[in-house]
Amino acid sequence: MEHPIFDRIENARKPDFGNILTKTFDSIKILWQPALYHGLISMLFMIPFLILVYVPLAPMYIGLFKNLGDPYYQPEINFPVSFWVGYTLGVFVIALLVQLFSFSLVAHFYKVIRLKDLGSTEDPGGYFSYVKGNIGKILVLNLAAMGIAIVAALLCYLPVFYVMVPLQLFAVLFAFNQDLSVSQLIKAAFKLGHKFWLVIFGIILLSSMIAQLGVLLCFVGVFITQLFVHIPIYYIYKDTIGFSSEENVITQGN
List pLDDT tens digits, range 54-105. Answer: 888 777 777 667 676 666 666 666 778 888 888 889 888 888 988 999 999 9
List pLDDT tens digits, range 244-254. Answer: 754 444 444 44
For residues 26, 31, 32, 38, the Cα torsion angle rounded to the nearest 10 degrees is -150
Please calculate the CA angle 128-91-42 and round it to the nearest 5 degrees: 30
* 3-state class percentages of the chain: helix first, strand second, coil last, to nearest 5: 75, 0, 25
Report the alpha-carbon distance of residue 32 to residue 220 in Å, rounded. Answer: 13
List pLDDT tens digits, range 137-188. Answer: 999 999 999 999 999 988 877 788 899 999 999 999 999 999 999 999 999 9
Q: How confident is the model at residue 48 (pLDDT cuts 50, 70, 90)?
A: confident
Segments making up each domain of the chain, as ranges = 4-71+79-240
Contact 200, 165 (CB under 8 A): yes
What pLDDT was estimated at residue 74?
A: 65
What pLDDT was estimated at residue 111?
A: 95
Per mean pLDDT, which range of 124-128, 220-224, 238-242 is the poorest?
A: 220-224
| Residue type at 81 in one-letter notation | V
- Average pLDDT taken over every residue of the chain: 84
Report the alpha-carbon distance of residue 104 to residue 108 in Å, rounded. Answer: 6
List pLDDT tens digits, range 29-40. Answer: 888 888 888 888
| Residue type at 215 in one-letter notation | V
Contact 110, 127 (CB under 8 A): no
The mean pLDDT value for 213-229 works out to 63
240: pLDDT strictly greater than 90:
yes
Report the alpha-carbon distance of residue 161 to residue 58 in Å, rounded. Answer: 35
Between 108 and 48, the more confident residue is 108
Percent with pLDDT over 70 in the chain = 83
Report the alpha-carbon distance of residue 39 to residue 41 in Å, rounded. Answer: 5
Between 125 and 215, the more confident residue is 125
CA dihedral over 96, 148, 42, 125, signed as positive or negative: negative
**Nearby residues of 189 by Cβ (< 8 Å), 6 or more positions away:** 166, 167, 169, 170, 173
> If you ran DSSP here, which 8-state letter would residue 41 be given?
H
Exposure string over 63-81, b if 16+ CB within 10 A, otherwise e:
eeeeeeeeeeeeeeeeeee
H/E stretch holding 87 reads: helix 81-118
